[in-house]
Chains A and B, each alone.
Chain A
Amino acid sequence: MCDMQNQSTSVVSGSRFKAVHIGIIILLCLAIWPTFMGPYILHVAILIALNILIVNGLSIIERSGQLSFGHSAFVAFGAYGSVLLSIHFGLSPLVAGVFAIIFAALIALVLGGVILRLKGVYFVLVTFAFAELTRLALMDWSAVTGGANGLSAIPSFELLGFVFDTRPSFYGLMIVVVVLSLILTHQIFKHPLGEAFMAVAQNGPLSESTGLSVYRLQLVAFMIGCALAALGGVLMARYIGFVSPESFNLNISVALVTMLVIGGRGSLWGPVVGAIVLTSLPEIFRGALQTQHIFYGISLILILRFLPGGLVSLPGRIWKRTRVPQ
């Protein structure tokens, strides 16, 4: 199959090979470290993992050329969907979760089918409106959703008889799920489907004229991305034990986009970096919440101004600057 790297001499690929291995080892250490650090850090690590999963979904949608500002709605569909299915149909967390994700993907199919003819800011605005509509519906339909009070006392996630009701066990589950989602994403973009997403994102008319249906490809990406968001919602509801419409408001949608942009669009690791940085910073800098948000705002502005590819693109930029010209 076609070599995807632009410039590859044996020397460079040799050192890159080692770098990948070292990187994986570092990541594994980073992943395991929270389990030794007590419940609070473990809690933050779980939140980071959930965010990585959800923003990963957003990233897939973005890499096909559309930016969704309604991602929080699909997290809500997963969360509320799986909990309600358990309550009303007695389904186990696993089965309820699977159905909720399918349900969310179907909504994505219908919604996307209608709105994916729109481009750019128009798509942004319509997804934004959809997110707000969803929140209002969740508030209003209180007989089913519990309205503003939401649903509480949600039982923990269960898989084949094993109940994940301790923090470390749930964290273990999250690590596995996150790794699987990253592998899935990596595979998508190694194969023709992901290449087609990127083609469509980079130049719609050109890709359309090579037989790639922009509409259908973006729809598939949208469904995958929303399904991942729903998966995040399913797990989040079982961990926190409580859902309410305010957990899925517009600020969350905007925060998810912020994580993606700061971490880095167009990259596998962007969501990871973005989620880690933006979820853990409030805990590291326990200053006033306002100061932190000002810091985020300034970071966003600076990133778009000087590093549009996000934090993930920083090593690449430095590497280019220090490379000896040929």
Chain B
Amino acid sequence: MTVEYLKVNNLSKQYGGLTAVKKLTFSVGKGEIVGLIGPNGAGKTTAFNLINGTVRCTAGQVLFDQVDITNRSTSRIVVAGLARTFQSTSTYADISVRQNLYRGLLSRIHNSSVRRLVGRTNGLVAHHEVDAEIDRLLALVDMQRWGDVEAGALAYGLQKRLGIAIALASKPSMLLLDEPAAGLNHEECRELTVLLRSLQQDHGLTLLLVEHHMAIVMELCHRIIVLVQGEKIAEGSPEEIRNNPAVVEAYLGAPEYAHA
């Protein structure tokens, strides 16, 4: 039995009269890759925002590694080991890739005022180890050639990979990925799948992804959760979900679903 690494209990978010997320309950086991799918506007990104503290919940609870992190500030949640990527503008565009990664690991630098301010005690690196750590991160996402290039000048697929590397710079044990395959071509999607699988298998990361690209979801995920209009309508293995009539009707049969 896998440990419930991330547990979400009856999570809800209301904006005035609109319910974006309704009593969402699910868990992710340590070392699992779980997919969160559903039509546009189903509340998937809102769920991420609620989990990682960007948005306050109206109700519910989030437990990470059995610690209650509900409504904690995002930076504290990251320091606890839960990081995320963004759908858009996920890099500092006018500085180099190396400098982007440097900014990503600022909170880990031993004996720096930033670390003391943020209160981080794990995964620290000494000042002289910073360059080596940046090299390691570049190697993880296979971007060693692009170290000195300005982030904004990178091709779209590389920018997204940099976004993942920045998230990895905070040495998380779990990663929330918000539509990592959006806008990628076939080749880039394949590389992404290889990368994500490697992160899970070789580096022990737990992954929760929001994704529309069904091929990737079906291939990578151990389990899939389906969200429609803020509510979970199904949960199960890829086969179970693919054959679930409610899911097919609500989402998989819909026009925006592609690449199956």
User: Across the interface, do A199 and B83 meet the contact criterion of CB distance under 8 Å?
Assistant: no
Whether the pair A210, B107 counts as a contact (CB closer than 8 A) is: yes
User: Within 8 Å CB of B61, what residues of A?
Assistant: none
Residues of B within 8 A of A213 (CB): 73, 75-76, 117-118
* Contact of B131 with A1 in the complex, beta carbons under 8 Å: yes
Residue of B113, B127, B170 touching A211 (CB-CB under 8 A)? B170
A305 at the interface (CB under 8 A from B): no
Determine the chain B residues whose CB is within 8 A of the CB of A216 once the complex forms: 75, 117-118
A209–B99 Cα gap in the complex (Å)? 16
A210 CA to B105 CA, complexed, in Å: 7
Are B118 and A211 in contact, CB atoms less than 8 angstroms apart?
A: yes
A200 to chain B: closest residue by CB: B103
- A210–B103 CB distance below 8 A: yes
Contact B117 A217 (CB under 8 A): yes
Q: Does B74 contact A (CB under 8 A)?
A: yes
Cβ-defined contact, A195 with B86, below 8 A = no
Q: Is A179 an interface position by the 8 A CB rule?
A: no
List residues 240-272 of chain A with CB under 8 A from any CB of chain B.
none
Task: Let me know if B103 and A195 touch, CB within 8 A.
Answer: yes
B103, A1: Cβ atoms closer than 8 Å: no
Q: Nearest chain-B residue to A191 (Cβ)?
A: B112
Within 8 Å of chain A (Cβ to Cβ): is B192? no
Proximity string of chain A (186-227) to chain B, C-beta cutoff 8 Å, 1 when within and 0 when not: 000001110110010011011111111111110010000000
Are A2 and B114 touching (Cβ within 8 A)? Answer: no
SS of B interface (majority): helix
Max chain B Cβ within 10 angstroms of own Cβ: one of A1, A202, A210? A210
B106 within 8 A of A: yes
A209-B78 contact, Cβ under 8 Å, with A2-B98, A2-B134: yes
**Interface residue total, chain A, C-beta cutoff 8 A:** 28
Q: Does A15 contact B (CB under 8 A)?
A: no
Report chain B residues within 8 Å CB of A209.
52, 74-75, 78, 83-84, 86, 167
Closest to B131 in A: A2
Pairs A–B under 8 Å by Cβ, sample size 6: A2-B102, A6-B95, A209-B86, A210-B104, A210-B105, A212-B118
* Top 10 closest pairs, chain A to chain B, by CB: A211-B107, A213-B75, A211-B78, A192-B112, A199-B103, A192-B114, A210-B104, A208-B74, A193-B113, A2-B102
Binding site for A on B (CB under 8 A): 52, 54, 73-76, 78-79, 83-84, 86, 89-92, 95-96, 98-99, 102-109, 112-115, 117-118, 120, 127-128, 130-131, 134, 148, 150, 166-167, 169-170
Q: What would 18 more interface pairs be, CB under 8 Å, given A1-B127, A211-B118?
A: A2-B102, A2-B134, A193-B112, A193-B114, A195-B103, A196-B103, A206-B89, A208-B75, A208-B78, A209-B52, A209-B78, A209-B167, A210-B105, A211-B107, A212-B103, A213-B117, A220-B113, A220-B117
Chain A residues engaging chain B, CB cutoff 8 angstroms? 1-4, 6-7, 191-193, 195-196, 199, 202-203, 205-217, 220
